[in-house]
Structure 1
Amino acid sequence: MKCYMRELLCWQGIGAQSTKCSAANNRATYFWYQSLFCALDNLKGKTEEIPCVVGDEHVWTKEIRYQLSIFTFSQPDLLNKAILASVAARREWDLKPIQDRAQVLFKAADIISGPKRAEILAKTMIGQGKTVVQAEIDAAAELIDFFRFNAKHSIEVECQQPLNSDGSTNTMLYRGLEGFVAAVAPFNFTAIGGNLAGTPALMGNVVLWKPSDTAMSASYAVYNVLRESGLPPNIIQFVPADGPVFGDTITSSEHLAGINFTGSVPTFKRLWKQVAQNLDTYKNFPRVAGECGGKNFHFVHKSADVQSVVTGTIRSAFEYGGQKCSACSRMYVPDSLWPQIKQGLLDIHKKLKVGNPVEDWSTFFSAVIDDKSFARIKKWLDHAKSSPNLNIIAGGNCDDKKGYFVEPTIIETTDPQDAIMAEEIFGPVLSVYVYPEKDYLDVLHLIDNTSPYALTGAVFSLDKNVVEEAAKVLRNAAGNYYVNDKSTGSIVAQQPFGGARASGTNDKPGGPHYVLRWTSPQVVKTTHIPLRDWKYPYMG
């Protein structure tokens, strides 16, 4: 308590305070370290117990899991109980004025920006292996922004009303979906879990939130903040579960109204196919929204600023061990600049520290999230070592004796169509293709056609004509497209996020229209002049 009180004055003025219909981006701030030190110290040696929460009931099943915390998995009977309880609570919640629902998120944002900030950051650092800056931009700044801006957008959308005419008025009611929304969250961003569950609830929906097994502690903390902020019971059910069990149960329920998903392509396809197979079961056509990662590119033209390319690529490829949907994984460099860029990358690479970010804040990134991730990345490193087309110029080693550590790895390829340039790795592995500088236009087309993904990408060029050319060729290659900036770092309300093709349904969370995805509008026409005659004038 003393640690928090010591910092209390410092919290004043951080970012934007919530008002009824205003918001501004919350700044990443670093002058509250003492509070974070205390929060990290308080978590040492402690094992949190995390139940399923249905309504106000904390439930433990026979399925117990251990991963930093002790938590329990929902079984089909509990999930079906949660569904029925949510559906029963839906009508009253949906009828609440949007301003009342928005105040829950405004209050949650204020709590996270102040008294709960250090706790949620600490749980994100420990549970998800994030450095202090990666936790701050995620579990504080982005989550706060999601809550504040979505609340703001929800209020503003009610101002979008149809035209009236003489003798009648028209009203658009932004109803929630009839049924429940299933929110399936990833491990890599605490903020994404809060948004996947929080935004549909904001718009009058009821939600079953399946948090990631490897982001359990921070997710549970966010759920508790929402409840503390006035979210009624049964509006969001916190139901950790085995993935296939959760998917099978929700897609077989007649009450399924939507799926809000972030994760892998195979899992999303499986859910989509299950929805299709069960269409005759549902009362409505479920909304299916998903973000599935990418094979994100940095294209470098001969006119690029070399230092900007080097530092931007290091951060994009290796921050959080490449475990961002937007991380740069493939790079295209002209032969004229490659010697400079290569040396710049190698010079920084030598200084990157991989370790425990909780114990050593000079750590650039930590272990990858789990054994499955480690095994997948190791296969790619083995591929690089055995392929005649690939040459590892930095890193390339990994060790799972204590933690799942992978060196930041840079690979040069002579084959731009090698699988390592097309498939998602989701680890600290950057592949580089060096091209003849005169062939840059061909390379732009190559980028567009190499990978099935289309999430993020960046073009580095100081030549305006090249920038314009690239924008035309790469129009469909990325949902978030950067010019002279790295492919990561989207900010809520500034760069709403999402991509198409295999990267997902591109619903752009963080933008003003995202809230509409979770509404089922009703138009009400009220006529004030009674109709007196059934005949039309020309009928005589």
Structure 2
Amino acid sequence: MSHGIFKVPELRNEPVKNYAPGSQERTELKKALADARSRIIEIPQYIGKEEVFSQNRQAISPPHDHQHILGYFHEGSSEDVRKAIDVALEARQKWASLHWEQRAAVFLKAADLIAGPYRSEINAATMLGQSKNAYQAEIDSACEIIDFLRLNVNFMRDIYEQQPVSSDGVWNRMEYRPLEGFVFAITPFNFTAIAGNLPAAPALMGNVVIWKPAFTQVYSAHVIMKVFKKAGLPDGVINMILVDGPIAGEIVFKHADFAGVHFTGSTKVFQTIWKTIGENISGYKTFPRIVGETGGKDFVLAHRSANAKALATGLIRGAFEYQGQKCSAASRAYIPSNLWEEVKELILGDLAEIKMGGVEDFGNFVNAVIDEKSFDKITSYIEQAKNSSDAEIVTGGNYNKEKGYFVRPTVIQALKSDYVTLCEEIFGPVLTVYIYDEDQFEEIITVIDNTSPYALTGAIFSEDRYAIQYATENLVNSAGNFYINDKPTGAVVGQQPFGGARSSGTNDKAGSVLNLLRWVSPRAIKETLLSPVNYKYSFLTGE
């Protein structure tokens, strides 16, 4: 077989379509939405070459119209988990030994399929299944997943090119082997792109994967699996199981061939996973890789020099796009006393004209939260604020779940810097602001750093470079992604590698070389070109 040192398609981010009235993409997406609503589909598990249907069918409904049935997914069992592991391990050797450019071609083709014939389908699935508006779906389930798939190929090649130096008479080489065993990918509801990347990134590096998507994201996960299959992904490389977390974990985390977990979800669940892995550590063939991106309590800090309009816009977009259901969403804001009244009026003006409703109406900026459990949690914080002497509702506070799980964008003003909604993750359209004395900028930075256990994203708005530098330096451990004069959301693959530390995860930066390095086990090879034939060193020779 002939070989070559292959170049890969150049680094570039997928352009975001705007879905303006009259555009082709808007027409195609509207048709895809109508088609999806007009039929009921059955979603199986994908285990090896089989599409596994069970007797345990679970309904899928749009969060904004929970009486409508989009389809059913077939929930699996512990036996399905065992079978998926066996199938993956059977596929491992052949996939791991496949030349890297062949693996790359599968995921490059998947990216082109999503960019082209599957774009409207995956966006419509995300809009209906996860209640995202057209723009939020476009930047997630189209552009971001395309970027992950394409740019990861570049990052993979960069890794393989990292080779050691060689001295005279020696040729040193570094192999980047896949992990020994299988990887368990656990993905969340809120980003289709994350759901696709978490199994795809380890698979690109030659690993086999058991993928468990969130039940509330299965509708678009099904499209991802269809795309992977269409792109030529061999059977058994990525196996999608639809099994409750504890059932899957009981088997996966006790299996000797468990080699790593790629996780996005809650901090509490990740801590439980880490503890479970520790309890079973002596039973594994190798020390598993543990990669996780978890919760956030993301801050926006305004300096007294900030542009009020830019700040208000950053808060509106950062806090309320996708109903605040982003781990990076602006959840707490610290605004100086000299700006609050102006900023408040701007926020109230924007929220007065923002429309809320189903995703099929492209005029709706805000849609529904993901499910009833989330709705109840979010509204409990709102009710607590209504009844607290330490907080007041500035705007919003209304909600209704009769047709869909709708929570009106809510701004709470906390009167104490440690009020609960400044500290705890809510994961909904709730922004808490704290007004500080404009002359106490340095003091409020200390408060921000110590208020929350999380360290995912943060932002500062300021026109004062000294203030920007001071905040950047003194909030160095408070956010893995830090934004200056911008909202703390919207990381772009390859431009702002994403991840945080503290209780926000292992900070392995999805969308960068750093993440892919976690899914390889390097082997150093030294070849001596002329081997010594005598044990004696020169220093042994007499004077």
After TM superposition, the score normalised by the length of structure 2 is: 0.95
Structure 2 residue 370 is matched with structure 1 residue 369: yes
Displacement, 1:224?
1.3
Distance 1:109 1:362 in 2: 29
Counterpart residue type for residue 53 of structure 1: Y
Distance 1:253 1:60 in 2: 25
Cα displacement string for residues 383-439 of structure 1 (whole angstroms, at most 9, x for unaligned residues): 101110100010012111111111100011110111110110000000000000000
Cα displacement string for residues 62-83 of structure 1 (whole angstroms, at most 9, x for unaligned residues): 4321123211222111111111
Cα displacement string for residues 66-119 of structure 1 (whole angstroms, at most 9, x for unaligned residues): 123211222111111111111121111111121111111111111100111001
Distance 1:90 1:323 in 2: 36
Equivalent position of 2:471 in the other structure: 470
Q: Is the 8 A contact 1:21 1:156 kept in 2?
A: no
2:217 to 215, 218, 234: 215
Q: Is the 8 A contact 2:311 2:343 kept in 1?
A: yes
Displacement, 1:19?
7.6
Equivalent position of 1:391 in the other structure: 392
1:26 to 7, 14, 20: 14
Distance 1:113 1:393 in 2: 42
Q: Is the 8 A contact 1:321 1:428 kept in 2?
A: yes
Counterpart residue type for residue 63 of structure 1: N
Distance 2:54 2:282 in 1: 31
Cα displacement string for residues 97-145 of structure 1 (whole angstroms, at most 9, x for unaligned residues): 2111111111111110011100100001000000000000000110000
Q: Return 5+ residue gaps in structure 1 as ranges.
A: 1-17
Structure 2 residue 86 is matched with structure 1 residue 93: no
Equivalent position of 1:64 in the other structure: 57
Q: Is the 8 A contact 2:358 2:364 kept in 1?
A: yes
Displacement, 1:249?
1.6
- 3-state SS of 1:231 partner: coil
Cα displacement string for residues 14-42 of structure 1 (whole angstroms, at most 9, x for unaligned residues): xxxx9824220001113411111111111
Q: How does 1:411-430 map to 2 (within 5 A)?
A: 411-430=412-431
Equivalent position of 2:346 in the other structure: 344
Q: Is the 8 A contact 1:20 1:103 kept in 2?
A: no
Counterpart residue type for residue 138 of structure 2: E
Counterpart residue type for residue 327 of structure 2: C
- 3-state SS of 1:350 partner: helix
Counterpart residue type for residue 26 of structure 1: E
Number of residue pairs matched by the alignment: 522
- 3-state SS of 1:288 partner: strand
Q: How does 1:226-237 map to 2 (within 5 A)?
A: 226-237=228-239
Structure 2 residue 174 is matched with structure 1 residue 181: no
Cα displacement string for residues 195-221 of structure 1 (whole angstroms, at most 9, x for unaligned residues): 000000000000001111111111111
Equivalent position of 1:5 in the other structure: none
Q: How does 1:244-283 map to 2 (within 5 A)?
A: 244-283=246-285
Distance 1:267 1:486 in 2: 27
Distance 2:261 2:31 in 1: 38
Q: Is the 8 A contact 1:207 1:237 kept in 2?
A: yes
Counterpart residue type for residue 482 of structure 1: Y
Equivalent position of 2:404 in the other structure: 403
- 3-state SS of 1:383 partner: helix
Q: How does 1:480-495 map to 2 (within 5 A)?
A: 480-495=481-496
Distance 2:294 2:287 in 1: 22
Cα displacement string for residues 292-332 of structure 1 (whole angstroms, at most 9, x for unaligned residues): 12000000001001110001110000001000010000000
Counterpart residue type for residue 66 of structure 1: A
Equivalent position of 1:516 in the other structure: 517
Structure 2 residue 381 is matched with structure 1 residue 380: yes
Q: Which moved more, 1:172-181 or 1:240-249?
A: 240-249
Q: Is the 8 A contact 1:460 1:485 kept in 2?
A: yes
Distance 1:510 1:66 in 2: 33
Q: Is the 8 A contact 1:19 1:106 kept in 2?
A: no
Q: Is the 8 A contact 1:444 1:470 kept in 2?
A: yes
Q: How does 1:432-447 map to 2 (within 5 A)?
A: 432-447=433-448
Counterpart residue type for residue 530 of structure 1: S
Structure 2 residue 496 is matched with structure 1 residue 457: no
Q: Is the 8 A contact 1:298 1:459 kept in 2?
A: yes
2:127 to 125, 128, 143: 125
Equivalent position of 1:136 in the other structure: 138
- 3-state SS of 1:513 partner: helix
Q: Which moved more, 1:218-227 or 1:59-68?
A: 59-68
Counterpart residue type for residue 23 of structure 1: L
Distance 1:530 1:339 in 2: 79
Counterpart residue type for residue 241 of structure 2: V
Distance 1:158 1:22 in 2: 16
Distance 1:23 1:228 in 2: 24
After TM superposition, the score normalised by the length of structure 1 is: 0.95
Q: Which moved more, 1:309-318 or 1:24-33?
A: 24-33
- 3-state SS of 1:158 partner: helix
Q: Is the 8 A contact 1:197 1:209 kept in 2?
A: yes
- 3-state SS of 1:303 partner: coil
Q: Is the 8 A contact 1:48 1:217 kept in 2?
A: no
Displacement, 1:230?
1.4
2:160 to 139, 148, 158: 158
Distance 2:538 2:288 in 1: 45
Equivalent position of 2:3 in the other structure: none
Q: Is the 8 A contact 1:99 1:155 kept in 2?
A: no
Cα displacement string for residues 276-306 of structure 1 (whole angstroms, at most 9, x for unaligned residues): 1111111011101111120000000010011
Equivalent position of 1:238 in the other structure: 240
Q: Is the 8 A contact 2:60 2:219 kept in 1?
A: no
- 3-state SS of 1:283 partner: coil
Distance 1:141 1:97 in 2: 27
Distance 2:145 2:295 in 1: 19
Displacement, 1:512?
2.3
Q: Is the 8 A contact 1:102 1:155 kept in 2?
A: no
Distance 2:158 2:440 in 1: 48
Distance 1:81 1:211 in 2: 17
Equivalent position of 2:529 in the other structure: 528
Q: Is the 8 A contact 2:480 2:499 kept in 1?
A: yes
Distance 2:528 2:519 in 1: 29
Distance 1:268 1:65 in 2: 25
Q: Is the 8 A contact 1:28 1:137 kept in 2?
A: yes
Equivalent position of 2:336 in the other structure: 334
Distance 1:524 1:75 in 2: 43
Displacement, 1:156?
2.0
Distance 2:356 2:34 in 1: 21
Residues 158 and 463 of structure 1, relative CA distance in 2, 3 Å threshold? same
Distance 2:226 2:80 in 1: 20
Distance 2:171 2:109 in 1: 35
Equivalent position of 1:193 in the other structure: 195
For the aligned residue pairs, the C-alpha RMSD in angstroms reads 1.1
Equivalent position of 2:501 in the other structure: 500
Q: Return 5+ residue gaps in structure 2 as ranges.
A: 1-5, 62-70
Counterpart residue type for residue 198 of structure 1: A
Distance 1:242 1:350 in 2: 41
- 3-state SS of 2:491 partner: coil
Q: Is the 8 A contact 2:185 2:198 kept in 1?
A: yes
Q: Which moved more, 1:298-307 or 1:60-69?
A: 60-69
Distance 1:185 1:236 in 2: 13
Equivalent position of 1:46 in the other structure: 39
Distance 1:130 1:295 in 2: 21
